[in-house]
Amino acid sequence: MLQNGVPLPSSILAFLHVAGLIEKVNTLFGQVIYDQAHLNGGILLIPSQERGCDLLPPTLIAQERFKSINKDTQEVSQKEYNIRASELEIDDPRLPDLQAIKHAKHVKLALSHHRKQKAQKKVAQQEKDKSKELSELIDANTKAIAASIKTAFSLNARKRKALLAEYRATKKRRITLSKYRVKKVARSEKASILKCFDRRGGPYGLVHTHQWWALV
């Protein structure tokens, strides 16, 4: 343990304080006094011989490599920051750092949550757009199918109407012809009716026959 050490520059003081090498800093007559300075990470502080005289600049002796020093200081800093801010006194110099770290963690969590919400909203909007596009395609296909069915129904109705008209005309002709007497005549004579039918006979079993008829 070292007491009444030499004054250090503000940059070195900030590094040692953040690294956890100095727990308490007091000021007396404009001179910085370090209480409870620890030897950590292979760093040794060499104090001056007497107070009040011309003080030598502090000497830092690195006994280990910078990598191991950085690792040790990070471990010490992590142990220091594991302390809750509510456990410290108001005038404790570690309190602002702990509050700043806590605030930074809260900001980091808030930004992460905001990014996640933004990504979820983006995915939901993309799904909504896809669903809307799909529904529009389904509606268009439904309308096209309905138009095709309507056209087919109208075409079938016209066909049925034409067939019914043809059947009625044929039936009417048959009824009209039944009122008259006809006789079978030769082709050379004046014929008005040609009757075509198949009769039995011939090598294939059926013979196509034509008969000419004339009104009496």
- SS3 string, the chain, reads CECCCCCCCHHHHHHHHHHCCEEEEEEECCEEEEEEECCCCCEEECCCCCCCCCCCCCCEEECCCHHHHHHHHHHHHHHHHCCCHHHCCCCCCHHHHHHHHHHHHHHHHHHHHHHHHHHHHHHHHHHHHHHHHHHHHHHHHHHHHHHHHHHHHHHHHHHHHHHHHHHHHHHHHHHHHCCCCEEEECCCCCCCEEEEEEEECCCCCEEEEEEEEEEC
Region 87-107 average pLDDT: 76
Distance between CA atoms of residues 180 and 177, nearest Å: 6
What is residue 14's predicted lDDT score, i.e. its pLDDT? Answer: 53
Statement: residue 3 has pLDDT above 80: no
Statement: residue 105 has pLDDT above 60: yes
Residues with Cβ within 8 Å of 13's Cβ and at least 6 positions away in sequence, in order, are 22, 25, 32
Q: Which amino acid is at 109?
A: L
Statement: residue 24 has pLDDT above 50: no
What is residue 196's predicted lDDT score, i.e. its pLDDT? Answer: 86
Statement: residue 87 has pLDDT above 60: yes
Tens digits of residue pLDDT in 147-170: 999 999 999 999 998 888 877 766
What is residue 157's predicted lDDT score, i.e. its pLDDT? Answer: 92
What is residue 152's predicted lDDT score, i.e. its pLDDT? Answer: 94
Angle at CA of residue 151, ends 146 and 154, nearest 5°: 125
User: Which residues sit opposite 193 in a β-bridge?
Assistant: 213
Region 90-119 average pLDDT: 84
**C-alpha 24, offset from chain centre:** 52
pLDDT class for 193, splitting at 50, 70, 90? confident
Region 126-146 average pLDDT: 92
Q: Of the spans 20-29, 33-42, 198-207, which averages the highest pLDDT?
A: 198-207
Question: Could you tell me the residue ranges of all domains in the chain?
Answer: 10-82, 181-215
Average pLDDT in the chain? 68
Distance between CA atoms of residues 61 and 46, nearest Å: 9
Tens digits of residue pLDDT in 36-86: 344 344 333 434 333 333 333 333 333 344 455 455 555 545 555 456 655
pLDDT class for 140, splitting at 50, 70, 90? very high
Distances (CA, A) of 130 to 120, 126, 144: 15, 6, 21
Distances (CA, A) of 187 to 98, 128, 191, 193: 125, 81, 7, 10
Region 202-212 average pLDDT: 86
pLDDT class for 114, splitting at 50, 70, 90? very high
Using a pLDDT cut of 90, give the percent of the chain over it: 21
